[in-house]
Amino acid sequence: MKVLIEPKPHTMVNTFLLIFIVHSMQIGVGIQGFQRIIYLEAKHDAWISVILGGIFSAVVGFVMVKIMAAYESSDLFGIQYDVLGRWIGNFLNILFVLYFLGAFHIIVRNYIEVIQAWIFPEVPNWLLAFTLVFLVYYGLNGGLRTIVGVSFFSVVLSLWLILMLAYPFQFANWDYLFPLFESNLTEIVMGAKQMTFTVIGFEIILVIFPFLKEKEKVHKHLQLGLLFTTILYLAVMVISLAYFSGGQLERTIWGTLSLFKIVRFPFIERFEYVAITFWILIILPNLMLYLWAATRGVARMLNKKEKKVGWVLMGIIYLSLIYPMTRTEINMMNDYFAKGAFYVIFGYPFLLYAAVLVKKKFFKKKGGTNAKNHH
């Protein structure tokens, strides 16, 4: 496998758009019901957990950019291959491909479940899964720039949903936020850990980095994207805490969708139906980028054309989505995935960065070459 990538100029993306890529990757199915899982750990201090989760993300984002900056133009797959050798490197590459496909699977599963629970209980899995996979194929066929365009419009066109939170804001009882710091530090940190499933997505930087134009601005735009997400999650969390009582939050599976329930317009009776249907636009960039990353990984390892690999992966993932799953099974799957993702996203980058630094030192001593120009 070639370590360095030389993307063609027409596939390159403006670095400014990284803000939208990161934000659209982090806002997916997680935001529909993240309040409950954090509240169960941190109680009324759940909003502090959200801030902590944002800080952790910023630190990990910084480390990820440092890893990428050690190479002139490479991605996660090339760096692991270069630093850890052919066997270990490719083994980890396969794990990351499975991780990206797993994230894709879980997003679709959760979205189908919401549609079946709230709007169309009778529509079969295979039809909903087919619709989503077909839309993703359309984006994947257009290449990275098309996908980034979808990310941009996904963020811009969904901004109005934030304004809808003004409705529950009117009925908020701010006393629910007190007493402050009733949970101990461990509970607050555990709450932040529960944010994992909600804030993952920014690890896409590890694959998309070579395709960004101004490399020196990557870190700034990544952090802006993360900050935007953290502020949004914090706002939703605070409103949820002030609107629902503790007992209600523990029982409400989809907190954010339940907030939309009270939005009333003269011409729309059930506004949450509009929000759920509109959500497809919010999860599309997630799905497209995760499948794109998995496709790139496999194509780079096998030295095959991306389009062919994309077809095969889509077929496999579609077959995995046909089987119906119960609410409990989906919950278990979410939990296991979140636990794994915690180590993959919040632990592993530190180890990889250490390995990259050791490799650079070793090569400097050995022959004065640098990881930057080492092929």
- Tell me the per-residue pLDDT of 220-278, one tens digit each, with 9 for 90 and over: 999 999 999 999 999 999 999 998 887 888 888 888 888 888 887 788 888 888 888 88
Query: Is 315 contained in some domain?
Result: yes
Give the model's pLDDT for residue 56: 94
Domain count, the chain: 1
* Per-residue pLDDT band at 319 (split at 50, 70, 90): very high
**pLDDT of the residue at 8:** 86
In a domain, 244, yes or no: yes
Q: Is 373's pLDDT higher than 50?
A: no
Let me know if residue 362 belongs to a domain: no
Residue-wise pLDDT for 159-174, tens only, equals 888 888 888 888 888 8
- pLDDT for the residue numbered 131: 92
User: CA–CA separation, 357 vs 70, rounded Å?
Assistant: 8
pLDDT > 90 in the chain, percent: 57
Mean pLDDT of 284-310: 93
Within-domain flag for 237: yes
The region of weakest confidence among 21-30, 90-99, 339-348 is 21-30
210: how many CB neighbours lie within 10 A of its CB? 19
Q: What pTM was estimated for this model as a whole?
A: 0.91
Within-domain flag for 256: yes
Per-residue 3-state assignment (H helix, E strand, C coil) for the chain: CCCCCCCCHHHCECHHHHHHHHHHHHCCCHHHCHHHHHHHHHHHHHHHHHHHHHHHHHHHHHHHHHHHHCCCCCCHHHHHHHHHHHHHHHHHHHHHHHHHHHHHHHHHHHHHHHHHHHCCCCCCHHHHHHHHHHHHHHHHHHCHHHHHHHHHHHHHHCHHHHHCCHHHHHCCCHHHHCCCCCCCHHHHHHHHHCCHHHHCCHHHHHHHHHHECCHHHHHHHHHHHHHHHHHHHHHHHHHHHHHCCHHHHHHCCCHHHHHHCCCCECCECCHHHHHHHHHHHHHHHHHHHHHHHHHHHHHHHHCCCHHHHHHHHHHHHHHHHHCCCCHHHHHHHHHHHHHHHHHHHHCHHHHHHHHHHHHHHHHHHHHCCCCCCCC
Which CATH number does the domain housing residue 192 bear?
1.20.1740.10
Residue 283 banded pLDDT, cuts 50, 70, 90: very high
Please check whether residue 373 lies inside any domain of the structure: no
For the stretch 128-159, pLDDT in tens is 999 999 999 888 898 899 999 999 999 998 88
For residue 367, pLDDT beyond 70: no
Domain-located, residue 3 = no
Whether residue 374 has pLDDT greater than 70: no
What is the mean pLDDT of the segment spanning 84-107? Answer: 94
Domain that holds residue 299: 14-352
Residue 371: pLDDT band with limits 50, 70, 90: very low
Under the banding of pLDDT at 50, 70 and 90, the label for residue 365 is: low
Give domain status of residue 8, yes or no. no
Does the pLDDT of residue 217 top 90, yes or no?
yes
Q: What is the pLDDT of residue 55?
A: 95
Question: How confident is the model at residue 368, as a pLDDT?
Answer: 43
